[in-house]
Each structure stands twice: as structure tokens, then as C-alpha cells.
Amino acid sequence: MNHRPKIHQLPPAIFRTFSLAPRRHDYPGPPLQLPRSCFQQIVNPHLASYGVENPIYAVMQLAQTTMRSELGKITLDKTFEERDTLNEKIVEAINVAAKDWGLECLRYEIRDIMPPNGVRVAMEMQAEAERRKRAQILESEGERQAHINIADGKKSSVILESEAAKINQVNRASGEAEAIIARAQATARGLTMVSQSLNETGGVEAASMRIAEQYIQAFGNIAKEGTTMLLPSSAANPANMIAQALTMYKSLVPNGGIQETSAVVSSSKAK
């Protein structure tokens, strides 16, 4: 109703007055025990007076039915996690319907969620079981990771040892090959020097005398090592022993050298 500004007298049996200040209404919940608060404000006194008989009660009933509908869509565990989502959905549903009642829901708050004692005990047992499960999983994961780390360490150790052994073998083989090459080169240089010495004047005579000395020295060593020794028939004649030793040398020198060596032996026999 619209009235021009002046003093009006309203019969109390027909008209009522409303306060436009926000109000808070607390009311008990269903057996789940969800104490909650609803903050409302009258935005249109005309609709609040004539749109519905008791707008506050209508909003409370709408909030309760909306809350029950939303709770039926989720589990009890999700209720604790999605409390803010529930509050927002209830406020939205109230404002859609209360628009024709001249009211606006400013805020809806579920203050607490208190399930029955049996449900609370079951939830505590479930939470304890979940904690034990997570602890066992973490412990098993730790043991598994420890075994993996130990196995990786052993694997790395075996690989490093095998690589070290391989490198050692390669180095040893390389060293032996270099030693063989060095000995062969030394032998070749020695043979080259011997060959050059034999081609020089008096080289054949010097080689012949060296062979004779080593031959006689070998017989002397045999006599030192044993009490019984078998000697050839020519052992009493040193010249014959020298001649036998020089027969091994014939293939090493040219014919001229052999003749010169024979002359050395003949001179030894004459002496």
C-alpha cells in the first residue's frame, strides 16, 4: 500500500508493522544434530506482509528441506568436508523462493555436525583404521625403497668392480705387449750388433772363443751340481771339446769364417 506522507492510523487488527533490521534465527536440526543459523533481512515489507502468512517460518522450513535434500546426495564423511558448499546451496535456494516473500537470506551457517554416539564411535574407529593403514603403507613403502636403494648400490658396486677388473686386464695386457715388443726390439738390436761385429775384422775369432768358453763353463757347472757325470770320449782333449762346440757355430757364419775358425782350432791342437 502506498500512502502520501502524513500521519496515518493503522488499525492493529488489520495491519502489522515489521522491522527491516537483519534477524538471526536459531533452530534445532534433524536427528543428525546440525545446529545452524540463518541471517535474514526484510527487503519488501508489502510482500512480507501479504506474500506469505509467516515469512520467517517459511524460510526456516525451506532451509531445513533444502539442507536435508543436499545431505541426501553426499555421505556423512563428505558432510564435514563440504560444509561451505552446503551453506552456499541453501542460501541460493532460499533466495530463489523468498524473493516473493519480501525476504533475503544474507547467510546460512551450519555451526556444527554432531552425529549420534554410535555413528561417532564408528567414525572414530574408521579414522583410526585409516591412520593405521596409512602408517603401514608408509612403512612398507619405506622398506621397499630401502631394498631398492640397497639393490641399486650392489648393482653399481658390481658394475664398478667389473669395469675396474676390465681396465686392469687391459692395462696388464697392454703392459705385457709393450714388454714383449721391448724385449723383441732389444733382441733384434742385439742380433744386429752381433751380426755387425761378425762382419768386422776378428769378429769371427772372438765369437769362436766366446762359444768355447761357454761350452767349457757349462761342463764345469755340471760337475758342481752332481757327484756322477757322464762325459764324451773327447773330454780329455780340450781341443776336441772346442771343435765340438764350434760345430754349432758353423751355420751362423759364412764359409770364410768357418775356415778361419778351423785355423783357430788347428792352432789350439798344435799347442
Domain boundaries, the chain: 23-115, 116-199, 201-270
pLDDT of residue 270: 44
- Report residue 150 as a C-alpha cell: 640397497
Contacts of 109 (CB under 8 A, 6+ apart): 36, 37, 38, 39, 87
Q: Could you report the per-residue pLDDT of 200-225, keeping only the tens digit for each? A: 666 666 666 677 677 667 766 666 66
Q: How confident is the model at residue 29 (pLDDT cuts 50, 70, 90)?
A: very low
Task: Choose among 93, 139, 89, 127: nearest CA to 110.
Answer: 89
- pLDDT > 70: percent of the chain: 62
Least confident piece of the model among 79-93, 111-125, 133-147, 231-245: 231-245
Residue entry with cell 648393482: 155
Q: Could you report the per-residue pLDDT of 90-116, keeping only the tens digit for each? A: 888 888 888 888 888 888 888 877 777
The full length of the chain comes to 271
Q: Give the whole-angstrom CA distance, residue 225 versus residue 244.
A: 23
pLDDT of residue 12: 58
Under 8 Å between Cβ of 260 and 204: yes
Whether 194 shows a pLDDT value over 50: the answer reads yes
pLDDT of residue 138: 92
Q: What integer best gives the mean pLDDT of the chain?
A: 74
Looking at the chain, list the stretches that DSSP marks H as alpha helix, in order from N- to C-terminal side. 45-50, 55-71, 76-81, 83-98, 117-199, 203-225, 238-247, 255-270
Q: How confident is the model at residue 10 (pLDDT cuts 50, 70, 90)?
A: low
Whether the predicted model's global pTM rises above the 0.75 cut: no
Q: How far is CA 200 from CA 26, 164, 188, 248, in A?
A: 133, 53, 19, 21
SS3 state of residue 54: coil
| Topology classification of domain 23-115 | Tetrahydropterin Synthase; Chain A (3.30.479)
pLDDT of residue 45: 85
**Which residues are paired to 24 by β-bridges?**
39
Whether 253 shows a pLDDT value over 60: the answer reads no
Contacts of 12 (CB under 8 A, 6+ apart): none
Q: How confident is the model at residue 146 (pLDDT cuts 50, 70, 90)?
A: very high
- Report residue 87 as a C-alpha cell: 551453506
SS3 state of residue 146: helix
CA dihedral 132, 135, 141, 146 (to 10 degrees): -130
